[in-house]
Every structure is written in C-alpha cells, then in structure tokens.
C-alpha cells in the first residue's frame, strides 16, 4: 500500500469513527426475566467537535467550528459562558461526586485572543515554558473503543438497519481501533519534543499521570480539567499572531514593553483557571484574554 493510499484509509477510518461517535447509543432488548442491559456509549461521547462530513477527504475531527460561534455576552478578564446553555444537570462528576465540570453534550468552540505583555526577559521565559506539542497524552482504552464501535455497527440506532455481518463488523471495528491507535501514538510521540504550539496548557499546567491513565472520557479527568484549566479539552488551532485588529494595535502601541499575541479555540469555556495559575507563575507579565465572535 502506498503512503497516499494509507493516508486515505486512515482519513476514511477517522471519518467513520467520528460518525459513530455521533450516533445515539444502541438499545438492547431486555433479557427474559431481568432488567434491560445498560446501553453502551461510543468513545468520547459528549465531547465531539464541530460537525464533520464523512465524505470530506482529509477532514480533521480536531478542527474548529465550520461557522462562527454565536455571540454571547461580552466579558473581559473573566470566564466566557458558552453560546449554548449548559445542561440542566452536570453529566460528569469528580472522584468525590461533587463539583461536576460543565461539559456540553456537543462542544461549543469559542475563539479567543490573548495578549501577554511585560518585560522582555519575563516574556521570553514565558514563551519558552508555553511552547509544546499542544496535545494531552491520554492513555486510551483501545479495547473499549473497538468494542463500542462493534456494538454500534451490529446494533445501529433506529431507523438505521445493520448492513454488515457480525464478522464484517468485527473487521471494521478492528480497523477503526488501529486507525485511532496510529493517530494517537503519532500525537503523543510529539509531547516533550515538539514546540509547534506556542500556548500549550499541558506544558504550563500539566495533567498528572494518574489522571492521564484514566483517559479523556473518565469523569475524574473532566473534573480535573475543569478545576485546573477551566475548559475540558486541549486548545485547538493555537496561533501566534503577527497582526491584529485596530483595537489590538492601539493597545499594543499604548502598552510598555514587548507583547505576545495569540489566538486559539477553546471548548465551551475560556481557560480562565489555567490563566490564573499561569499568572501566579509569571507575576511580571500581564495577561489580557478576550473572546472574539467575528472569527471565521
């Protein structure tokens, strides 16, 4: 298989896996004389990104929303509420069972601009500390991912009907598992080596190994990210900006010393808790975080 064919196969598997994650969990008939079996949920349920077309070649499940985020109430230097209302009851809980993080059923990606200003030496130290791979090196339960995909293929939610045999579903589920493993291993291998992301929250406020071992779908993982980052996923499409809006240019000209300007997308909320910790570690710097609702 050529490299191009392998890449197309991986893209197709990624697109199919994204489609599977968006399907309602299968409902199995109750066993005779007993309660119904618990419905299985697909991997990363409740943590999907913007809609992805399964027929789009090279579609990236980790991309930003296809359309601008609807405007919420504008706030400065404060957590940003998601454009869509949070669930009435929190769907995840921490190890103590209290203080569940707010994670929406369908991720609302919010665009932000961050300006970091201060003395040149302090700013250079921050830039060095903040650069990383932009990836959370989770431990994935590949067996569970394969089994969940298999059950969705053999028992699709109504009105869909099964089109694969049991053997075919097992083969496809195994192929999906392999695609996820390859993609995840490639991403994790960059942690500690790549500096492609100029504002990596895991580099600045690292997720502990005991949390990483729980995986991205565990309630304790959600609770830790909410408590320490203020958002429950890694930032997406982090970019160091060289030009800005007129307002940003006026702020830059009025501010003493050099500045670093960043833009990024965050899941559901601003990373305000992480910024509070980062500001404590770099007291000489000023952090100005603002949502931008005109981003496309």
pLDDT tens by residue, the chain, 296 residues = 455 655 665 666 666 656 655 655 544 444 333 333 333 333 333 333 333 333 333 333 334 433 333 333 333 444 444 443 333 333 333 444 444 556 777 889 999 999 999 999 999 999 999 999 999 999 999 999 999 999 999 988 888 888 889 999 999 999 999 999 999 999 899 998 999 999 999 999 999 999 999 999 899 999 999 999 999 999 999 999 875 555 555 555 555 578 999 999 999 999 999 999 999 999 999 999 999 877 65
What is the helix (H) or strand (E) element at residue 261, kind and residue range? strand 259-267
Number of other residues whose CB lies within 10 A of the CB of residue 240: 13
How far apart CA 153 and CA 26 sit, in angstroms, is 9
Q: Is 107 helix (H, G, I), strand (E, B) or coil?
A: coil
Predicted local confidence at residue 12, as pLDDT: 62
The reply to whether the predicted model has a pTM over 0.85 is no
**What sign results for the dihedral spanned by CA atoms 120, 121, 122, 123?**
positive
Q: How far is CA 107 from CA 12, 55, 103, in A?
A: 22, 21, 8
Q: Pick the closest to residue 236 from 6, 39, 49 (CA basis).
A: 49
For 120, the token pair is 């040149």
Interior CA angle at 266 toward 265 and 270, to 5°?
A: 120
Q: Pick the closest to residue 151 from 3, 22, 282, 40 (CA basis).
A: 40
Is the peptide bond preceding residue 3 cis, with omega within 30 degrees of 0? no
For 80, the token pair is 């940003």
Predicted local confidence at residue 7, as pLDDT: 62
């Amino acid at each position: 298989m050529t490299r191009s064919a392998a890449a197309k196969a991986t893209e197709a598997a990624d697109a199919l896996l994204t489609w599977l994650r968006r399907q309602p969990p299968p409902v199995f008939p109750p066993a005779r004389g007993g309660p119904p079996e618990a419905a299985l949920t697909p991997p990363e349920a409740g943590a999907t990104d913007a809609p992805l077309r399964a027929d789009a070649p090279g579609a990236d499940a980790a991309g930003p929303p296809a359309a601008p985020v609807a405007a919420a109430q504008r706030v400065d230097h404060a957590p940003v509420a998601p454009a869509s209302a949070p669930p009435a009851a929190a769907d995840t809980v921490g190890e103590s069972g209290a203080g569940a993080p707010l994670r929406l059923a369908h991720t609302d990606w919010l665009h932000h601009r961050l300006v970091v200003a201060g003395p040149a030496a302090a700013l250079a130290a921050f830039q060095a500390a903040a650069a990383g791979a932009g990836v959370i090196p989770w431990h994935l339960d590949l067996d569970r991912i394969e089994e969940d995909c298999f059950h969705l293929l053999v028992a699709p939610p109504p009105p869909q009907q099964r089109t694969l045999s049991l053997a075919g579903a097992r083969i496809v589920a195994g192929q999906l598992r392999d695609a996820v493993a390859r993609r995840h291993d490639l991403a994790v291998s960059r942690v500690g080596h790549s500096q492609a992301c100029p504002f990596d929250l895991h580099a600045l406020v690292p997720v502990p190994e005991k949390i990483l071992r729980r995986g991205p779908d565990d309630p304790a993982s959600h609770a830790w990210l909410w408590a320490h980052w203020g958002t429950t996923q890694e930032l997406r499409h982090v970019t160091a900006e060289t030009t800005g809006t007129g307002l940003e240019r006026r702020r830059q000209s009025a501010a003493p010393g050099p500045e670093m300007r960043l833009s990024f997308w965050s899941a559901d909320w601003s990373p305000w808790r992480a910024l509070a910790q980062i500001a404590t570690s770099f007291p000489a710097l000023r952090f100005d975080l603002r949502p931008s609702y005109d981003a496309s």
